[in-house]
Amino acid sequence: MKIIRQFFLVAALLLSAGTGITASAQVVENHNSKVARNLEIFNEIYKALDLFYVDTLAADTVIRWAIDGMLMKVDPFTGYYPADNEDLRQMATGKYAGIGSIIRYHKKHDRVVIDEPYANTPSQDAGLRAGDIILTVDGKDIKGMMPTKVTEMLRGEAGTTLELRFQRPGEKNPRTVHITRRTIQLPAIPYYGIMDDGVGYINLNSFTSGCAREMRHALLQLMSQGAKSLVLDIRDNVGGAINEAVDITNLFLPKGVKVVYTKGKQASMNHEYSTTTDPIAPDMPLVVLVNGMSASSSEIVSGALQDMDRAVIMGTRTFGKGLVQAIRDVPYRGELKITTGRYYIPSGRCIQAHEYNHDGSSKIIPDSLRNTFYTKAGRPVTDGGGIQPDSVILNDTLPTMIYDLVQSDIFFDWATDFANSHPAIDAPGKFQVTDSLYDAFCKYVEESKFTYNRRSDEVMQLLRRVADMEGYLEDAEDEMKALEAKFAPDIHKDLQRMRKHIMPYLESEIIIRYYHQQGSIRHSIPKDKVYRSAVKLLRDTKAYHSILKSAEN
């Protein structure tokens, strides 16, 4: 009897397994048939469009619309790059072939202007300066063109030459130069140095190919110069190569530590990344600066160092990109950057902050759905929302006038005029805008008829409407008028009142014209609130180590 029961049990299990296999195969078959059916529909629609539409449509353009529309709905990180597109290569390597200048659109001129020529590049060799107004590229007038289009014209194969005609502000006649394009390598580390006694500083702005080697060199240089602790600044660093992030983390973590692992639909997308060498700075006190634009590989570095209790993370919550992309070749030398999985840092958490609905929309994962994990020392950390700093330091709130000044061309134009009349200035860290220079700037702003939106005006108008609606306005009219008089716009007074906020932007705009991005960072960082907080913490050994210990220790 027992043998019969076992026979029927085995038969039932086999039958249920067979049913499961059949059901699973049916799901795959249904999915595949849907794919085939919809591809057939798309093919027929395009053929009808090509045959019967009243105008002849460019095949490359129309199909590209369909591709971009489809990928846009998937997530913001999946994209198609056709043959000879340099954007993907630049993202991965930091290299491109061109003249080596940042350009920007200038509203008043309705043209693109040189924003910053990089040091030791064809644009600097040709004598281009910030503020030069581009008139033509290879004889083609670029009036009204946006920077993306002009960028395409300025780039090309290394060794080829272009003709650039431009107008320098303050000069009567345009200039013409011939510039030979070269391969431009954008620095992953625009600046590093020791600005406070014994505290090293490294600004890492990308995770492009070779950046870990640059990082190692910078760290060794700082150590040889006497650095006893380090501030690693990865604010506004949107990420890049995962292997570079692992190698940078390896500078501080022991050999054999699992830094990150990825999981995808396909088993081939599952990978583990561990440290492979002995660190060069295993015990150096370390503070990592992050903000809301620190993403992807920046979050792998900061998250792994946090999970291993190796560094204090300082600043504001990071972006929350826990997705991994891979590059796949497509026909006719195109490339597809496609999200293939999620990554997880040492504590086991995935810090992806957004759920993509695959219809072009997304939602932020609420705090209530986030899970708690623990660092090596037992400190609680959470998933689903980026990296929460160990020490939250908020930047000071800026007056709305500053945003309007930055968005306008006021800083840029005044610095252009200043640089054209001042062949040299003091070195970064020593240069400062004097009272007379600031007064000249204020006069320039006032004469330019600059206008700005004041939040206080909007609030006052709202208060008046609400008071009127609720019946208080008549009784409060005198007080309301007195308050409005207090808030009456006065650009001269506002410029003086907001001087401490305006000065850093003004000084940076001037310094970058003489000492490039490196000089601008060198000048501004010592005054940076978050950096100063990091230095203060590193000098307080007890406070630094107390953050990295569990409450139970």
Higher pLDDT, 264 or 453: 264
- The candidate with the shortest Cα–Cα distance to 117, out of 416, 350, 418, 390, is 416
DSSP state of 82: -
Beta-bridge partners for 327: 337
pLDDT at residue 4 greater than cutoff 50 = no
307 burial type by CB count under 10 A (0-12 exposed, 13-18 middle, 19+ buried)? buried
**In the structure, what pLDDT confidence band is assigned to residue 480 with cuts at 50, 70 and 90?**
confident
Q: Scan for tokens 């005609």, then name that residue.
A: 165
The pLDDT tens digits for 370-379 are 999 999 999 9
Exposed (0-12), middle (13-18) or buried (19+): which is 211, by Cβ within 10 Å? buried
Inform me whether the pLDDT recorded for 8 exceeds 50: no
Q: Which segments within 204-277 are labelled E, that is strand? A: 229-233, 258-264, 271-274
CB 114 within 8 A of CB 129: yes
User: Checking phi first, is residue 143 left (phi over 0); if not, alpha (psi -120 to 50) or beta?
Assistant: beta
Lookup result for tokens 């320098």: 168
Mean of per-residue pLDDT scores for the chain: 91
Catalytic residue among 75, 233, 247, 307, which?
307
- H helix runs in 470-498, sequence order: 473-486, 491-497
Q: Can 533 be counted among the known catalytic residues?
A: no
Residues 400, 458: Cα–Cα separation, whole Å: 12
Q: Are 148 and 85 in contact (CB under 8 A)?
A: no
Q: Which residues pair with 338 in a beta bridge?
A: 326
CATH number assigned to the domain covering 191-394: 3.90.226.10
Specify the pLDDT at position 455. 74
pLDDT band per the 50, 70, 90 thresholds, residue 5:
very low
Among candidates 283, 177, 144, 189, which has minimal Cα distance to 227? 283
Cα within 13 Å of Cα(551), Cβ side? 3
Q: Is residue 535 within 8 Å of 196, Cβ to Cβ?
A: yes
321, 390, 413, 508: which is the annotated catalytic residue?
A: 321
State residue 6's pLDDT score.
Answer: 47
Q: Which of 101, 123, 294, 296 is catalytic?
A: 296
In this prediction, residues 113-132 reach a mean pLDDT of 94
161 vs 83, more confident: 161
Does the pLDDT at position 200 exceed 90?
Answer: yes
Q: pLDDT value at position 551?
A: 59
Residue 314 contacts residue 533 (beta carbons within 8 Å): yes
Helices marked H in 252-361 — which ranges?
A: 297-307
Domain 95-185 has CATH 2.30.42.10: yes
Q: What is the mean pLDDT of residues 137-161?
A: 95
So where are the chain's domains?
95-185, 191-394, 400-454+489-536
> Sorting pLDDT into bands at 50, 70 and 90, what band is 7?
very low
307 is catalytic: yes
Q: How far is CA 451 from CA 106, 411, 445, 489, 491, in A?
A: 17, 14, 9, 10, 9
Separation between Cα atoms, residue 182 and residue 148, nearest integer Å: 19
Q: What is the mean pLDDT of residues 434-439?
A: 95
Compare 489 and 389 and report the one with higher pLDDT: 389
Positive or negative, the CA dihedral 334, 335, 338, 341 is: positive
Give the total residue count for the chain.
553
Q: Beta strands of 144-257 (E only): which ranges?
A: 161-167, 175-180, 182-185, 191-196, 199-203, 229-233
Q: Clarify whether 140 is annotated catalytic.
A: no
Q: Which residue has the higher pLDDT, 25 or 174?
A: 174
Helix (H) or strand (E) holding 136: strand 133-137
Q: In the predicted model, is pLDDT for residue 1 greater than 50?
A: no
What percentage of residues in the chain have a pLDDT greater than 90?
Answer: 75
Lowest mean pLDDT among 6-10, 39-43, 307-311: 6-10
Model pLDDT for residues 260-281, shown as the tens digit of each residue: 999 999 999 999 999 999 999 9
